[in-house]
Chain A
């Protein structure tokens, strides 16, 4: 923990030093940014809440649909449909999904398309992770569930999902991280609310102190979410 803290202090000190060396408006000193963040507190909080709501919604949709698709593309399904679904996921994974934003706008409208884009991009790490992990669950332990009188659902509950949990959590961490990154693109499209919108708007107004304050807030939210997920991962996989 102390190494993380030390690294953070070094990075912030470097920023402060670089600001004085560069001495340009686009790189204000950290102290100015912090002062601005404190005075802009309510604005930042309101936009943070909007972004968190979108990230939460997108991650939930990505998690639910990613697990469902991952399981559907595994041994649980009939072989042809599982293989077809797996091929479809792998085929569409390399597509630059951000480029689909215009289509999503037409399909879902301005507000819903933001969450749709974030969900779509966050879906893949979860689905791919679940697909991979559900292929390598311990077959012997699954067979034992059958001898104990359990069916496929019991195998999923007691064997497939718990053994895939480390992979699912890794997928979720990547999904959340991706959702935060994509939130900037999604929110900057239609400047209603959210930290992405605030960053984009303040950038165009050349209000760099506010822009950095919004970036710092978004980064802090991302780091704290990642830390929370890591703590959850440690708790849920203590058997490893």
Chain B
């Protein structure tokens, strides 16, 4: 579903973040667990097509990300909202880009906002809402976009504990292919998909666990995570 083959990428300054990295992420939800600075966000940006590898290939549904624009929803950890647009317009951007009629756009925005419990935020600017609410807006925008593949960079990090389970359940119910970065082992387990434990740079997969595998052997999961986070 999502494949990276012999990918090399480094920023203008600094070491290689991905060096001959090869991995395949299956359909459904895949969670990536790993320490800060290991290259997880870079991996997500490469799959989103925001960054282009210097060597190697990235494929999503068998095609390069550049050919799938509009079908991939990338939800960055921070700064994904346009500060000059009200929340309503932030959610509406992919719909406007797709050329939908204003009435249809308003309806979709209203429906999505209601589903995520953010209707009361629609006429505010991003700076007027909390970090957790901003994350919900980003998720709302991805829902509105009807993208096939979702790339989420720590989407739950600022969402209240009480609401976190609801968001996880909502993500699971969507049934989309998702690559989710998190630091929270419990969130990874609750999301219920494949779990990749990584470290780096350069990014390497320490362990990968299929659904069901880690629920049977929680000790193995905890041990792999500890290994990855060890300096």
Give me the interface of A with B, judged by CB distance under 8 Å: 138, 140-141, 143-150, 154, 158-159, 162-163, 165, 237-240
Contacts and interface: CB of A to CB of B under 8 A. Distances in A.
A162 B84 contact: yes
A149 B69 contact: yes
A147 B48 contact: yes
Given A144-B76, A148-B93, 17 more contacts: A140-B79, A141-B79, A141-B80, A143-B50, A145-B93, A147-B48, A147-B69, A147-B73, A148-B145, A149-B70, A149-B97, A149-B98, A158-B93, A163-B84, A239-B84, A239-B125, A239-B127
Given A154-B97, A239-B84, A146 B125 contact: no
A237 B72 CA distance: 31
29 contacts: A138-B79, A141-B79, A141-B80, A141-B82, A143-B45, A143-B50, A144-B76, A144-B80, A145-B93, A145-B97, A146-B49, A146-B50, A146-B69, A147-B50, A148-B70, A148-B73, A148-B93, A148-B97, A149-B70, A149-B94, A149-B97, A149-B98, A159-B82, A162-B85, A237-B84, A238-B125, A239-B83, A239-B125, A239-B127
Contacts of A146: 49-50, 69
Q: Interface centre among A138, A149, A163, A238, by most B CB within 10 Å? A: A149
A224 B49 CA distance: 49
Contact of A148 (B45, B65, B69, B85): B69
A227 to B, nearest CB: 23
B8 interface: no
Contacts of B45: 143
Contact of B50 (A144, A149, A240): A144
B72 A147 contact: yes
Residue of A138, A238, A239 with highest tally of chain B CB at under 10 A: A239
Contacts of A145: 93, 97
Contacts of A162: 82, 84-85
Contact of B84 (A144, A148, A165): A165
A140 B77 CA distance: 12
